Amino acid sequence: MKLAPSSFAPSCFPDLPIVNGVSAATCSRGFYAGRDLERDDVFLFTFDHGTRCAGVFTRSTTASADVRWCREALVSGGGYARALVVNSGNSNAFTGPKGVLKNQATLEAMTRALKVPKEHCFLAATGVIGEPLPDPNYVGSAVPGMVEQLASPNWQACARAFMTTDTYAKGAVRTCEIDGVTITLTGIAKGSGMIAPNMATMLAYIFTDAGIAPDLLDQSLRTATQPSFNAITVDSDTSTSDTLMVFATGASDAAMMTDSTDPRLVTFQKALSDICLDLALQVVKDGEGASKFITISVAGAVSDASARIIAADIANSPLVKTALAANDANWGRIVMAAGKSGEPVDLAALAIWFGSVKVAEQGGRSPSYDEAAASAVCARPEIDIRVKVGHGAGQARVYTCDLTHAYIDINGAYRT
């Protein structure tokens, strides 16, 4: 089905800079031909020798064959990368031995065409679950042609190639200064539905010319993931294919970061965290059928972990999400969602704000409650909801979107 662009879609794709040491190409393998769509659906990235990498992946127990390969390759390859191939249209999840054969054929094509070790090659796939490809080499057969087309990345083309129900291509850039040298971080992401992270979420790739050891890159990525990709939800469903990876070519003139006490890591960490948050929020703003972007902030919890659970339960509640879709300031549903979390909530201290409008406090409706003012906040395209659940120091923030009938329309027709 043809999807209308999200109301949050930017007017144009951002101008993303080249990252030295990175090349790319895209092609169409016909994954969407049956839907009468002519579009690229595969991309190849290659990296200069010495590129380090790190990744976090879905914790789903039905993870795709591609996710399982990437986990293995990160260990066997020592955190080094030379190539990445990603396709949309088929997730290669729950495809049994045929899914493994698909990966083997793709990896063999990569190693032959690029003359690089298999354990330095990474894969990902996104799309329909449980449908084996007709030929194990269906994706691999496209690799030689893409190798011939390798050039500086066309970021927008790559970002479009792995879209599924996304309504716009997602990209972001951050720079920072290390040793007087400008370090570039460029990222692309895809995701719109089946978004409820449990490590990272959907597919996202970040490329940088920073020089950093694999273990430090892994540590930095995991730190960046928690307040970004692990703090978003569209529909509470965790994908079988969720992948977030970062590739560091070391092509800048800044000295390699190899020590966890290196003060330069703080600068790099901030830039990496910023770009992860940017990409993650773009995913939520493109949530399937979404008309509103919602931030849920919880404070006063017994711990940050407790606050996170409460915030996620509020963000994932269909009753909360549908009320907000209808501009309904039904704060009672916030109370319900906080309570169902099972986390400690002090009723006497419980307070709720829609924007700056306090709607509940001290275990009941606020004496200053103004239905019109609260409803006006809920009619905005971006809504901030704050909840105080006690007198503790725990706090967390989760980002979500509303739930409209368009979500049903999109997912009811997903395979057609």
Helix (H) or strand (E) holding 175: strand 170-178
CB proximity list for 72: less than 8 A, separation 6 or greater: none
Catalytic residue, chosen from 26, 184, 201, 404, is: 201
201 catalytic residue (yes or no): yes
Tell the residue number behind the tokens 């949309």, with chain if given: 88
Distance CA 145, CA 123 (A): 17
* Nearest by Cα to 47 from 96, 116, 140: 116
What is the dihedral angle through the alpha carbons of 146, 148, 149, 152, rounded to the nearest 10 degrees?
100
Burial class (CB in 10 A: 0-12, 13-18, 19+), 319: middle
Cβ proximity of 390 and 363 under 8 Å: no
Reading phi first (left if > 0) and then psi (alpha if -120 to 50, else beta), residue 224 is in: alpha
Q: Which residues pair with 47 in a beta bridge?
A: 22
DSSP per position, 38-103: ----EEEEEE-TT-EEEEEE---TT--HHHHHHHHHHHHTTTB-SEEEEEEEE---S-HHHHHHHH
Cβ proximity of 290 and 234 under 8 Å: yes
User: Is the sign of the CA dihedral 46, 47, 49, 55 positive or negative?
Assistant: negative
* Nearest by Cα to 279 from 213, 317, 227, 215: 227
- And the tokens for 256? 């390699």
Give the CA diameter of the chain: 72
Residue positions annotated with a catalytic role: 201
